[in-house]
Homo-oligomer: A and B are copies of this chain.
């Protein structure tokens, strides 16, 4: 009987553990001896922050290799085949969402290993909740093109798609380019498009605001320089999509 692969969200920067991790998430982490991680150094710091009871050097912490073929993946999963539980830790936030850990999870499914996702912080989810930008749907796009002309075209496509489907669009930028991204958003998007800027979620510098582009232009730009930020947009005014049935009566999960 193989072990279970636990997916463990990591802190988003320096935040109070009591705000991030359910007690059982910490208890599970404390019981694990094996970890698959993106970066061994920050994983050791995270495990120390979580007060793992064992000496950190005694834990089997394995970094994801560059090349993730089936053989490498099976090597990572070997402790599970031997009956051990293993934790996957990403750099920040939820593992296997927009990071290479997903391939490990996929291989686990192929090999019949049980995968258990654990509740914890995700800037994408927290940003979406706090934005007030409910649409019929939402989509995360990772990074936008770097070159100005391509970036502006990508933003206009996202805006058009947003208007058509009433879809909230989420994207991120490397933090040292945030100020430039913010300026581009104000220049490229329509006056009525809603933009949420969600900075340093769960940390002491947390700052979240939603305004129309026209209203953002009337304000002092926020300080986003080198501060991890999630951007969300919603363009209203399209033909409304057919009304969704109310899921609540059926206790559908969200």
> Which A residues are closer than 8 A to B by beta carbons?
7, 12-13, 16-25, 27, 38-39, 90-109, 115-134, 136-143, 145, 167, 172-176, 194, 196, 200-202, 206, 208-211, 228-230, 242, 244-245, 247-248, 250-254
Contacts of A90 in B (CB 8 A): 254
Tell whether, in the assembled complex, residue B244 and residue A143 are in contact, meaning their CB atoms are under 8 Å apart: yes
**Cα–Cα distance between A100 and B254 once the two chains are bound (Å):** 12
Contacts of A39 in B (CB 8 A): 248
Contacts of A131 in B (CB 8 A): 96, 102, 105
A184 vs chain B, min Cβ distance (A): 17
Q: Could you say which of B134, B139, B248 contacts A91, with CB atoms under 8 Å apart?
A: B248
**Cα–Cα distance between A108 and B17 once the two chains are bound (Å):** 27
Contacts of A7 in B (CB 8 A): 129-130
List 7 A-B pairs, minimum CB-CB distance, nearest first.
A102-B134, A106-B132, A105-B132, A123-B253, A93-B254, A139-B139, A228-B253
Chain B residue at minimal CB-CB distance from A105: B132
Give the dominant DSSP class at A's interface: mixed
**Cα–Cα distance between A175 and B141 once the two chains are bound (Å):** 29
- A96-B129, A117-B201 known; 19 new pairs, CB 8 Å cut-off, are A90-B254, A94-B125, A95-B129, A96-B131, A97-B254, A99-B248, A102-B131, A105-B132, A105-B210, A106-B133, A109-B196, A109-B211, A117-B129, A122-B125, A124-B125, A172-B252, A175-B251, A200-B253, A228-B251
Contacts of A16 in B (CB 8 A): 24
A217 vs chain B, min Cβ distance (A): 16
Q: Could you say which of B22, B125, B132, B251 contacts A103, with CB atoms under 8 Å apart?
A: B132
Contacts of A251 in B (CB 8 A): 13, 91-92, 175, 228
**Cα–Cα distance between A7 and B7 once the two chains are bound (Å):** 24
Tell whether, in the assembled complex, residue B254 and residue A115 are in contact, meaning their CB atoms are under 8 Å apart: no
A119 vs chain B, min Cβ distance (A): 5
Tell whether, in the assembled complex, residue A116 and residue B253 are in contact, meaning their CB atoms are under 8 Å apart: no
Contacts of A254 in B (CB 8 A): 12, 90-94, 97-99, 122-124
